[in-house]
Amino acid sequence: MEETFYITTPIYYVNAEPHLGHAYTTILADSLSRFHKMQGKRTFFLTGTDEHGDKIMQSARERGEDAQEYADRVSRQFRELWPELNIDYDRFIRTTDPDHVACVQRFLQLVYDNGDIYFGEYGGYYCFGCERFFTEKELEDGNCPDHQKPPEYIQETNYFFRMSRYQEWLRGYIQDNPDFIQPERYRREVLAMLREPLDDLCISRPKSRLEWGIELPFDSGYVTYVWFDALLNYISALGWPEGEDYVRFWPAAHHLVAKDILKPHAIFWPTMLRAAGVPLYRGLRVHGYWKVHEEKMSKTLGNVVRPLELRSKYGLDAFRFFLLREMQFGHDGNFSEEGLIGRFNADLANDLGNLFSRCLAMTGKYFGASAPPHPDDLDLEREDEELLQLGRDYLEKYLQCFEAVHTAEALEWLMEFVRGVNKYIDTTAPWSLYKQGYTQRLQTVLALALASLRRIALALRPVMPDASHTMCEQLGLDLGSLDVDLRQECSEWVFLSEGTRVAKKSNLFPRQELKLEREGAGEGKHASGQKKNKAGKEKAESKQGSESEQTPEIDFTDFQKLDMRVGRVEGASPHPDADRLLQLEVDAGEGYTRRIVAGLAEAYSPQDLVGRHVTVLANLKPRKLRGVTSHGMVLAVHGEQGLSLLAPDQVVSPGDKIS
Ligand code: MSP
């Protein structure tokens, strides 16, 4: 049977312009759709806009626009933005689309006929911003906790969906099907909600109060509550109940949402489906929130991040890569341009870009830019076998993590592989094989390196479609006929055909610097980041290990060139190749962790170091220490008792400057 995959994003309200948060969910969905497509599955990727309800009506009114015109205008902004971010959706649905409206009415009628919708009176505190009633307990000092405004008391007759009837069934279902809601913390949150009595859901609004909605099929005096309308987009888009797409894709449905809309997706939606006798979706995947410089993104704070601005400053691939690499799925992530640049320079410019450029340059120099013959199994040496193994293991992990939507871990495995290939090149030293005339060995090494590049290029395709395309072109891969099966690519080694013409040069990811145009929010932080980068470009002139008497005098301006700051060790492990060295992952307040290789193993074990504050020289040029690149230095004292870390004796935070 044909394998399918169906992925959806929330449909976004049209009362705000698209920003980083919307872009993240949609880019993530796009990358998942591409990832599954590359495994031979037939995929359907749905996104769109949610256009009915009080909130939209009010925003339209504030702007003096008609609700439909207003919705058309903002919906278009979303629809037109996505292709600019290389987002390749299959359908963009609007809740004002006639087929959606018909589907909502049909669904309501069905549930009504089944006896799960009743008419009743209700009085309660209603927040227009949230479009829902609040209990007194939920209010903070009488205010809506989100909008900090007092809700209005409203008493009216309405239609209710008998949601409470499905509470026990849903609890059992979630308990028996651990994969239904993931990550686990959100599954537990939903189970906790279901331990409290569940109220029935008010699913209508009288037209006397709100006209902007879908009319109830069984009472023309009412429109449908916006959530009951919006959730149905996931099946209306497929042509429920008879549509071919519905039959094909609904059994493989995965919804991607952030934590803000967990309850409607984890409780309203499954109970609605159950009441209508529609099978449940396969999985709900819930991510955290992007903050900006650790603060909530909001218009009032003036820190709303616009995706197109970032694209034009740093390039689309850098933006997509950063979002998927940085956000630990399920947790909140922190967005900063410094963080983006840091990741870009560390992973893409230093590790991946450098690997491509050195391998292609060597193929150019030693083999006239044509791929050498495939190695014979019998010719393989220990390093080669190790690289093959690494390629299999790490890429398998890449696939597993991607499948589970843990893209940050997936990309970390892929970058580990990149670093492994860089190390392989350092150890096998093709330049000396060339000098010594070991041609056959040189062929083997470069054939393996190029096969590694091919894998990396293909594995990155769901994340960075453009860069992956360029990498494939540089490797002389015939893109037209390249029908890739990602699983196969990751488990079997595919060599470039002998004689394939590859590019002589590659400059995929030139190092980037912060580009600051905006004034205002976060200026202080930006300014220090900028200084750091500028300083980073200048040559560090420190001399290591020399005695103080021999040290030349320096000017104060020389001292100012040193970017010394407090770092916190987030992770530590032994260096794979040197007993004296440890590899540290250090948070130096830049929004990402940097890897620093330090000669501390004689005095500290990795466990001793995790969680400790250290002094970091941050703008030391990256250098390789036994095959691992170190981005900075950790300072220590060589005292009589041995080695001891230089650390502040007061409470400090990562990134605090040392002067
Ligand atoms: N219209 C409803 C969804 C109906 S789905 C049947 C809605 N719209 S929304 O415009 O408010 O979008 C919320 C979604 O936008 C989040 O669930 C998330 O996907 C995305 N994000 C908005 N801000 C975000 C962040 N700051 N960080 C990450 N994602 C966020 O709710």
Of 13, 15, 322, best ligand 1 pocket probe by most atoms within 8 Å of the beta carbon: 13
Each residue of 6-45: pLDDT tens digit?
A: 999 999 999 989 999 999 999 999 999 999 999 999 999 9
| Phi/psi-derived region of residue 602, left when phi > 0, alpha when psi is between -120 and 50, beta in every other case | alpha
Structural domain that includes position 415: 334-491
Please give the residue that has the higher pLDDT: either 582 or 535.
Answer: 582
Residue 54 has pLDDT above 70, yes or no: yes
Is 607 a member of any domain? yes
pLDDT score recorded for residue 516: 67
**Cα-to-centroid distance, 21 and ligand 1 (Å):** 7
Residue 540 has pLDDT above 80, yes or no: no
Pick the catalytic residue: 296, 365, 435, 504?
Answer: 296
Q: Taking residues 119-125, what's their average pLDDT?
A: 89
User: With bands split at pLDDT 50, 70 and 90, how would you rate the model's confidence at 615?
Assistant: very high
Residues 385 and 238 in one domain: no
Residues 277 and 349 in one domain: no
Burial degree of 358 (CB within 10 A; 0-12, 13-18, 19+): middle
Residue nearest to atom 10 of ligand 1 (CA): 12
pLDDT score recorded for residue 552: 67
Q: Taking residues 443-467, what's their average pLDDT?
A: 97
The 10 Å Cβ neighbour count of residue 130 is 15
**What ranges in 404-539 are assigned the alpha helix state H?**
407-428, 430-436, 439-459, 465-474, 486-491, 523-537
Mean pLDDT of the chain: 90
Each residue of 64-76: pLDDT tens digit?
A: 999 999 999 999 9
Is 524 a member of any domain? no
Residues 132 and 246 in one domain: yes
Is 532 a member of any domain? no
Residue 135 has pLDDT above 90, yes or no: no
Query: Is the minimum distance from the CB of 448 to ligand 1 under 6 angstroms?
Result: no
Query: Is the minimum distance from the CB of 139 to ligand 1 under 6 angstroms?
Result: no
CATH number of 600's domain: 2.40.50.140
**Cα-to-centroid distance, 332 and ligand 1 (Å):** 14
Is 433 a member of any domain? yes
Q: Taking residues 176-186, what's their average pLDDT?
A: 97
CATH number of 278's domain: 3.40.50.620
Given a contact cutoff of 8 angstroms between Cβ atoms, the answer to whether 541 and 558 are in contact is yes
Of 7, 12, 405, best ligand 1 pocket probe by most atoms within 8 Å of the beta carbon: 12
| Phi/psi-derived region of residue 148, left when phi > 0, alpha when psi is between -120 and 50, beta in every other case | left
**Cα-to-centroid distance, 11 and ligand 1 (Å):** 8
Residues 95 and 171 in one domain: yes
Considering just the CA atoms, what is the radius of gyration of the chain in Å? 29
pLDDT score recorded for residue 644: 86
Query: Is the minimum distance from the CB of 297 to ligand 1 under 6 angstroms?
Result: yes
Q: Taking residues 609-627, what's their average pLDDT?
A: 88
Residues 445 and 351 in one domain: yes
pLDDT score recorded for residue 296: 87
Query: Is the minimum distance from the CB of 187 to ligand 1 under 6 angstroms?
Result: no
Pick the catalytic residue: 127, 202, 359, 401?
Answer: 127
User: With bands split at pLDDT 50, 70 and 90, how would you rate the model's confidence at 80?
Assistant: very high
Closest of 133, 131, 127 to residue 148, by C-alpha: 127
Q: Taking residues 605-633, what's their average pLDDT?
A: 87
Residues 128 and 229 in one domain: yes
* Listed residues 227, 259, 287: the one ending a domain: 287
Residue 468 has pLDDT above 50, yes or no: yes
CATH number of 430's domain: 1.10.730.10
Residue nearest to atom 8 of ligand 1 (CA): 12
Residues 85 and 198 in one domain: yes
**Cα-to-centroid distance, 165 and ligand 1 (Å):** 28
The 10 Å Cβ neighbour count of residue 183 is 18
User: With bands split at pLDDT 50, 70 and 90, how would you rate the model's confidence at 531?
Assistant: very low
Residues 179 and 236 in one domain: yes
pLDDT score recorded for residue 534: 32
Peptide bond connecting 241 to the previous residue in cis, omega within 30 degrees of 0:
yes
User: With bands split at pLDDT 50, 70 and 90, how would you rate the model's confidence at 481?
Assistant: low
Residue 544 has pLDDT above 60, yes or no: no
Residue nearest to atom 2 of ligand 1 (CA): 12
* Listed residues 491, 507, 531: the one ending a domain: 491
Please give the residue that has the higher pLDDT: either 123 or 116.
Answer: 116
| pLDDT above 70 as % of the chain | 94
Q: How many helices (H) and strands (E) does the chain have?
A: 24, 25
Given a contact cutoff of 8 angstroms between Cβ atoms, the answer to whether 273 and 180 are in contact is no
Is 540 a member of any domain? no
Site of tokens 């005339």: 437
Residues 282 and 344 in one domain: no
User: With bands split at pLDDT 50, 70 and 90, how would you rate the model's confidence at 576?
Assistant: confident
Residues 283 and 353 in one domain: no
Is 531 a member of any domain? no
In three-state form (DSSP H/G/I as H, E/B as E, the rest C), the secondary structure along 98-127 is: HHHHHHHHHHHHHHHHCCCEEEEEEEEEEE
Please give the residue that has the higher pLDDT: either 473 or 647.
Answer: 473
pLDDT score recorded for residue 110: 98
Buried b (16+ CB within 10 A) or exposed e, 381-406: eeebeebeebbeebbebbbebbeebb
Residue 532 has pLDDT above 60, yes or no: no
Q: Which residues pair with 614 in a beta bridge?
A: 567
Site of tokens 């909001």: 298
Overall number of domains in the chain: 3
Residues 218 and 283 in one domain: yes
Is 426 a member of any domain? yes
**What ranges in 43-97 are assigned the alpha helix state H?**
54-62, 67-84
* Listed residues 446, 474, 491: the one ending a domain: 491
The pTM score is: 0.79
Residue 403 has pLDDT above 70, yes or no: yes
Spatial distance between the Cα atoms of 654 and 659, rounded to a whole number of angstroms: 15
Residue 648 has pLDDT above 70, yes or no: yes
Residues 216 and 275 in one domain: yes
Each residue of 292-341: pLDDT tens digit?
A: 988 888 877 788 999 999 999 999 999 999 999 999 999 999 999 999 99
Q: How far is CA 598 from the centre of its chain?
A: 30
Reported as half-sphere exposure (CB side, CA atoms, 13 A), residue 259 has a value of 16
Residue 185 has pLDDT above 80, yes or no: yes
Is-catalytic flag, 561?
no
pLDDT score recorded for residue 529: 33
Each residue of 332-389: pLDDT tens digit?
A: 999 999 999 999 999 999 999 999 999 999 999 999 999 999 998 888 999 999 999 9
pLDDT score recorded for residue 126: 87
Residue 526 has pLDDT above 50, yes or no: no
Q: Which two tokens stand for residue 235?
A: 């099946």
pLDDT score recorded for residue 519: 38
pLDDT score recorded for residue 29: 98
The 10 Å Cβ neighbour count of residue 146 is 12
Is 342 a member of any domain? yes
